[in-house]
């Protein structure tokens, strides 16, 4: 997806909050979510963020402001999930996004502006739902820095598995426990084996962790038995959100021999409500490069456009708000800051790999990128990396310490893109609070 008029960094909106410095949702972004007015029993429907407002696509579809393919897309977005709109593909996504840009850009005539203003609601007065009916959720493992950091805790002499640099590794997660940002969850129960213990014990997770990830929502699917080629993979990606793959490390490490994650991962996955489209992310593409001495991708994971612009430079941060900090009204502590550009595999490669054996993806399926960690310690995407397996607890600004997450802790993920010559766009936040085990 190349650059076009919707990426113009000089473009402004008549919605003044969209023009504030550092705003996540300028007119160049226009991410999608599913919402309703808070404390009502209204039907959920699709909306688009502009500044600190939500453009109600249900109301917009009932107005005379859109026509043609854009109107059809808005009507599909007026449903309780975005699946049917996701299934339409890039042409439909672009038609609606460009029509919304034209409607919200400064300079639109006053009658259209007033009609559109009637479709706006303040974000502070709405509640969100998971934006799609997620049929399947797959989580990848694609940061070589994360793999080395965690692998060195388990096997110091051999932190990377033999396959990591050859294949995007993944496991099938649990779609039923994917929740929208702001939804609290219970500390999980399970079995764990302490080092040197004669037998495992059952009880609350003692080594609860977060994982800083991005989520990838699938648009059009593929028939079973027909893989998606790397060159066409991004045509099947509707957009991206923030994702926190909460992890019970003590339960996970005990149960993972010989199969993959199970109870250590399936109790909760949090996602941000806003899905940023690939078109909005176009100014932030970078070449995909591998160190010359590393194995290069096999032919089915190698392609010219992926090499030229397959990487996305998305800035990411993790903050921790403890229960004491909330009581004292002190700001959350930033734990790490990194970029998605450090991942070992691109989004297109994840989609191609997922389908190469014949697996059929469906609209609304969710793919996790895996924990996103950079090369420096302060760029780690999980607390197990930051604390070296809990052996070196973090000192927080309010004099608290954390080796792993405690009850009452709230983890806040944020994402944004910015550089000279392009409009800053953001993902909002993904927030989740740990409640005591039941």
Tokens of 105: 């850009």
3-state secondary structure the chain: CCCCHHHCCCCCECCHHHHCCCCCCCCCCCCEEEEEECCCCCCCEEEEEECCEEEEHHHHHCCCCCCHHHHHHHHHHCCCCCHHHHCCCHHHHHHHHHHHHHHHECCCCHHHHHHHHCCEEEHHHEEEECCCCCCCEEEEECCHHHHHHHHHHHCCCCCCCCCCCCCCEEEECCHHHEEECCCCEECCEEEECCCCCCCCEEEECCCEECCEEEEEEECCCCCCCCCCCHHHHHHHEEEEEEEECCEEHHHHHHHCCCCCCCCCCCCCEEECCCEEECCCCHHHEECCCCCCCCCCCCHHHCCHHHHHHCEECCEEEEEEECHHHHHHCCCCEEEEEEEHHHCCCCHHHHHHHHHCCCCCCCCCCEEECCCCCCCCHHHCCCHHHHCCCCCCCEECCCCCEECCCCCCCEEEEEEEECCCCCCCEEEEEEEEEEECCC
| Cβ-proximal residues to 421 (8 Å cutoff; 6+ apart), any chain | 9, 283
Is 354 a residue of the active site?
A: no
What lies within 8 Å, CB to CB, of 306 at 6+ separation is: 230, 231, 288, 346, 348, 349
Closest CA to 280 of 131, 388, 103, 418: 418
Q: Whole-angstrom Cα distance, residue 2 to residue 112?
A: 29
d(CA 169, CA 271): 21
Structure tokens at 175: 């779609």
Q: Indicate which residue of 146, 236, 342, 354 is catalytic.
A: 146
Are the C-beta atoms of 311 and 285 separated by less than 8 Å?
yes
Q: How far is CA 51 from CA 19, 26, 68, 313, in A?
A: 7, 6, 26, 22
Which residues are known catalytic residues?
Answer: 146
């Amino acid at each position: 997806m190349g650059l076009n008029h919707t990426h113009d960094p000089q473009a402004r909106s008549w919605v003044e909050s969209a023009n504030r410095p550092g705003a996540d949702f300028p007119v160049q972004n226009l991410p999608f979510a599913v919402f309703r007015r808070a404390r009502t029993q209204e039907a959920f429907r699709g909306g688009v963020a502009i500044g600190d407002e939500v453009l109600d696509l249900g109301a917009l579809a009932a107005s005379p402001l859109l026509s043609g393919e854009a109107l059809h897309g808005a009507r599909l977005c007026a449903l309780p999930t975005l699946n049917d709109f996701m299934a339409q593909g890039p042409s439909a996504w672009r038609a609606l996004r460009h029509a919304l840009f034209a409607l919200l850009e400064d300079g639109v005539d006053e009658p259209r502006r007033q009609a559109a203003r009637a479709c706006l609601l303040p974000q502070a007065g709405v509640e969100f739902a998971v934006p799609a009916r997620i049929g399947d959720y797959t989580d990848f493992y694609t940061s070589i820095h994360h793999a080395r950091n965690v692998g060195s805790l388990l096997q110091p002499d051999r932190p990377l598995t033999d396959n990591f640099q050859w294949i995007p590794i993944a496991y099938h997660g649990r779609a039923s426990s994917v929740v929208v940002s702001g939804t609290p969850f219970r500390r999980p129960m399970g079995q764990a084996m302490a080092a040197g213990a004669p037998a495992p014990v059952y009880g609350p997770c003692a080594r609860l962790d977060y994982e800083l990830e991005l989520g990838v929502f699938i648009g059009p699917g593929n028939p079973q038995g027909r893989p998606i080629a790397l060159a066409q993979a991004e045509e099947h990606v509707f957009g991206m959100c923030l994702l926190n793959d909460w992890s019970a490390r003590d339960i996970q490490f005990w149960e993972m021999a010989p199969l993959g994650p199970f109870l250590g991962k399936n109790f909760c996955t949090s996602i941000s409500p806003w899905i940023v489209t690939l078109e909005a992310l176009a100014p932030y593409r970078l070449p995909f490069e591998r160190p010359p001495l590393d194995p290069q991708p096999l032919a089915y994971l190698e392609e010219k456009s992926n090499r030229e612009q397959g990487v996305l430079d998305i800035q990411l941060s993790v903050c921790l708000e403890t229960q004491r900090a909330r009581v004292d009204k002190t700001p959350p502590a930033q734990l790490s800051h990194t970029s998605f550009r450090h991942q070992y595999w691109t989004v297109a490669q994840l989609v191609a790999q997922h389908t190469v054996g014949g697996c059929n993806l469906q609209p609304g399926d969710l793919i996790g990128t895996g924990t996103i960690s950079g090369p420096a310690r302060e760029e780690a995407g999980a607390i197990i990396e930051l604390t070296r397996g809990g052996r070196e607890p973090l000192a927080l600004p309010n004099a608290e310490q954390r080796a792993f997450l405690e009850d009452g802790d709230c983890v806040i993920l944020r994402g944004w893109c910015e550089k000279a010559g392009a409009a800053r766009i953001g993902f909002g936040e993904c927030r989740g609070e740990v409640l005591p085990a039941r």
